[in-house]
Structure 1
């Protein structure tokens, strides 16, 4: 939370820092942040909330759409994006940043050469952009170390602990007291290592099974089956903590 507040502070006071303190031209424009951590831990949600609480539009860039197999097209797509965002108070959120910001390869053929040029071009545009840029990655180690040095802030999103998981269960479930029968949420939160995204999927699954039975009471069997399905989707054994 303290690291997120630093971003809010930059959004609020950067213009005054540059003008009143006469630092324009002495420090790089813009602010570059890396969110990294497992899927479902709130990276996208946090970017959206930053926009909400600072009254700024958040533009999520899907790099799988921007990146092109045709030489030069990726740079053109990125150029259009940054030109459109120039001088606007947008928050640019690059999701799945590994797709383009990965480690640059040793040049062994023309494809490697142009892939490295795409990364270099993006470095240049990000460093010159005057607004806030957030990149999200599931694994920090996937990113080029040369690129990582250019971030103003690197924020790790951990899997929630037992107390945080219990809060997620309570916040997402409909009216906690009325919709549960033999369910011990404290025990489930303690035993099963799940992310917020996992918990939402489980509640959707269990809720649909409950309605299919013409019932309003979610059973522990349906919740546990939903938990098992989430573990299986990720190729994990359903172990308790």
Structure 2
């Protein structure tokens, strides 16, 4: 058994009698689709997925998987889930509320920044909005202006679009 299986075995054994909730973020990396075996690596990866299928079925507690790549999960896991919850990208009104509450009070927002317009124009998930917020907050604190200008905000949004692979 490889190190991953050993570590997972220890985790499941420890969790079994402690009423733990097991949460796997970026689950597609660990619970990925099995493939045709072309080499030892494929065989090993398939064994790992089969092992996880077995352990999840035997586990009596709650297991939560999170991924933004659901299509990369092995379909055998989906058959074992009691619930699958999809979190869609926030709508403009939801993005507006996120933007309005995102920046710390130490950051002054320039008067030409219209959060409704930003929310309508730029389709970002909540995590993307927070990435832009963190980037901008660090930038304005680093240059000691403490004021967020529209130009800087839009540059940060475009930077996030590039990170997400969106066409600008």
Question: Shorter-chain-normalised TM-score: which range?
Answer: 0.7 to 0.9
Alpha-carbon distance between aligned partners in 1 of 2:142 and 2:36, rounded to the nearest angstrom: 56
Unaligned runs of 5+ in 2: none
Please state whether the residue corresponding to 1:215 is helix, strand or coil: coil
Q: Note the C-alpha offset of 1:235.
A: 3.0
Call closer, same or farther: CA 1:216–1:128 in 2, change over 3 Å: same
Q: How far has the Cα of 1:77 moved from its partner?
A: 1.4
Matched, 1:133 2:63: yes
Contact 1:181 1:217 in 2 (8 A): no
TM-score (norm 1): 0.63
Contact kept, 8 Å, 1:87 with 1:130, in 2: the verdict is no
Secondary structure of the 1:157 match is coil
Higher relative contact order (CA 8 A, sep 6+): 1
Number of the residue aligned with 1:231: 161
1:1-241 aligned at under 5 Å gives the runs 72-175=2-105, 179-238=109-168
Q: SS of 1:78's equivalent?
A: helix
Deviations for 1:35-66, whole angstroms, at most 9, x for unmatched residues? xxxxxxxxxxxxxxxxxxxxxxxxxxxxxxxx
In 1: Cα distance, 2:49 partner to 2:64 partner: 16
Gaps of 5+ in 1: 1-70
RMSD: 2.2
SS in structure 1 of the partner of residue 84 of structure 2: strand
Instruction: Tell me the distance in 1 between the aligned counterparts of 2:44 and 2:136.
Output: 48
Q: TM-score, normalised by structure 2?
A: 0.87
